[in-house]
Amino acid sequence: MTFRTYPEFSTHYPLVLTTIMKRPVRMYPNEIGVVYRNHATGEYFRFTWMQWYRRVAQLANGLRGELKVQAGVPGEPGARIATMALNTHRHLELYYGVTGIGATLHPINVRLSAQHIVYTIRHAQDKILFVDDTLMPLLEGIYDQIKDVVELVVYMSDKPGLPQTRIPNIVEYETLIARQAETIEWPTLHEDVNATLCYTTGTTGQPKGATFTHRQLYLLTIHMMAQLAIGNTPDHDIADGLGTRLGEGAVPLLNTPMFHIHGWGQPFVAVYSAQKIVLHGTFTVQGFCELVEREKVTSVGIVATIAAMLLEYPDLKKYDLSSLVRVSVGGGALPLGLKRKLEALIPTFRMSSGYGMTETAPTIVGSFIKKTMVHLDRDETDAVLVKSGLPILGVEVEVVDGEGKAVAQDDHAVGEIVVRAPWTTGQYYRDPEKSAELWQDGWLHTGDIAKVDAEGYIRAISPSPTA
């Protein structure tokens, strides 16, 4: 008896970002999935998952048809599509519309110097660039240096019409997608097709481009989701009524800029989890507090400087922030005193630290309480949670000396953090020399210095020059 097997739908089923995008639409098509507040005007925009998905489909149809964007193949990235955008619903649409047709999304870090922004655009060879209205002055200031590379600019704004500009080849986002069909037959992509291109901050030389495939970002997403499932709640938090796991009912505020290392992975995790996503454009203390109160935000990722701004905000107590239960801190050390002060002010949530860098997409280490530690008192668990943490699921991390040997776990010996994970970049884009420096002896070398304690918790003590 002969029969046909279907490895493309079984053993070799591709791990691609369209799978992530389709889940909330199938599960909750008529539920509000995306909420965006314009940080400049205070205006709100709400989309059901089906409305958002149809906009993504229209975008993809426009890219593939009208704009003739070419898909990539394994080992050869598709057309690079750049974004100069903040945390808006349109940027979230681009995350899936661009990658869903096999092109490469290049979220430009608009906090780089103008010189470095120009370099990344030219190095990536971005043919199409999507830009927010608030960032048009930045684009106009560098346009003469990129006009021989960028063939088309797509203008994104909550207000209809194009701006007065000297840029000749410019179209309006909403007009572009309005011309397109709301349905799409997504192409069958190989999971090793490149999805994104993220550049380092270039603090030591020119920025370097880290590439990530669909498979890598899919694996990052499901491992981040799985990591939440193994978290342990300390006894003292249970006694205080904390530690609730919200699952799909969580309401994340995507605070980390989506132009910065995939917004710490939240544009993927939150969509796959079918959680209502709250977008704020860019951070303001007043806007943050308003959104948390109004949308009942439960989780957010911040840096320590934002925590300090919240602590110093004189009107903080005017807002009901009691829905917050989880605050993740990255981008640098979390001071113990800051953690205690902010948690005392907003006692419903707990802050914890983490570690990653551009080349690791970024998440590789996160701080959580081991099951053998749940009996510890608050001071003891706080001291654990401000450390960088432990390797998350799916990651190998070591702290090694100059000979490549693991340092003693005594919280004194120092060494370099090295890592292996399915989602670490395999190489820098068009930079074999720096790629050879990044990967040595089968390990990605971060350049960061750290210590390890007896329980295996890592404490990074120097920032990465490329984070």
Q: Which long-range contacts (CB under 8 A, 24 or more apart) does 177-183 make?
A: 177/55, 177/58, 177/59, 177/62, 178/58, 179/62, 179/66, 180/57, 180/58, 180/59, 180/61, 180/62, 180/65, 180/66, 181/57, 181/58, 181/61, 182/54, 182/57, 182/58, 183/54, 183/57
What would the mean pLDDT of 420-431 be, rounded to a whole number? 98
Contact partners, residue 4, CB within 8 Å, separation at least 6: none
pLDDT, greater one: 206 or 332: 206
Nearest by Cα to 459 from 381, 377, 375, 385? 385
Distance CA 90, CA 107 (A): 13
> What CATH number matches the domain at 45-210, 1.10.3720.10, 3.40.50.300, 1.10.1740.10, 3.40.50.12780?
3.40.50.12780
What would the mean pLDDT of 85-95 be, rounded to a whole number? 98
Would you state the pLDDT for residue 242?
87
Would you state the structure tokens that stand for residue 369, as one six-digit string? 């309480």
Would you state the structure tokens that stand for residue 15, as one six-digit string? 């791990």
Would you state the pLDDT for residue 318?
97
What would the mean pLDDT of 357-385 be, rounded to a whole number? 96
Distance CA 233, CA 248 (A): 19
Q: What angle do CA 87, 14, 361 make, to 5 degrees?
A: 40
- Convert the pLDDT of each residue in 108-153 to its tens digit: 999 999 999 999 999 999 999 999 999 999 999 999 999 999 999 9
Would you state the pLDDT for residue 463?
59
Nearest by Cα to 463 from 356, 339, 304, 336? 356
For the chain, what's the residue count?
467
- Convert the pLDDT of each residue in 127-139 to its tens digit: 999 999 999 999 9
pLDDT at 28 over 80: yes
Would you state the pLDDT for residue 246?
85
Confidence of residue 204 (pLDDT cuts 50, 70, 90): confident
Would you state the pLDDT for residue 466?
39
pLDDT at 64 over 50: yes
What Rg do the C-alpha atoms of the chain give, in angstroms? Answer: 22
Q: Provide the angle, in degrees to the nearest 10, between the axes of the packed helices 17-27 and 49-61.
A: 140
pLDDT at 465 over 50: no
Spell out the domain ranges in the chain. Answer: 45-210, 215-350+361-460
Under CATH, to which class is 215-350+361-460 assigned? alpha beta
pLDDT at 464 over 50: no
Identical topology for domains 45-210 and 215-350+361-460: yes
Would you state the pLDDT for residue 305?
93
Distance CA 322, CA 335 (A): 22
What would the mean pLDDT of 440-458 be, rounded to a whole number? 97
pLDDT, greater one: 340 or 466: 340
Q: What pTM does this model have?
A: 0.97
Would you state the pLDDT for residue 347?
92
H or E stretch covering 330:
strand 326-330
- Convert the pLDDT of each residue in 163-172 to its tens digit: 999 999 999 9
Q: Which runs of consecutive H residues, i.e. helices, occur in 253-409?
A: 266-272, 285-295, 304-312, 336-345, 378-385
DSSP 396: E
Would you state the pLDDT for residue 331?
84
- Convert the pLDDT of each residue in 172-196 to its tens digit: 999 999 999 999 999 999 999 999 9
Strand partners for 45 = 36
Would you state the pLDDT for residue 303?
93
Distance CA 272, CA 295 (A): 20
pLDDT at 1 over 90: no
- Convert the pLDDT of each residue in 280-306 to its tens digit: 999 999 999 999 999 999 999 999 999
On average, the pLDDT of the chain sits at 96
Alpha-carbon torsion (181, 183, 189, 193), positive or negative: positive
DSSP, collapsed to helix, strand or coil, labels residue 114 as helix
Nearest by Cα to 104 from 130, 67, 77? 77
Q: What is the distance in angstroms between the CA of the first residue and the CA of the last residue of the chain?
A: 57
**HEC states along 29-79?**
CCCEEEEEECCCCCCEEEEEHHHHHHHHHHHHHHHHHHCCCCCCECCECCC
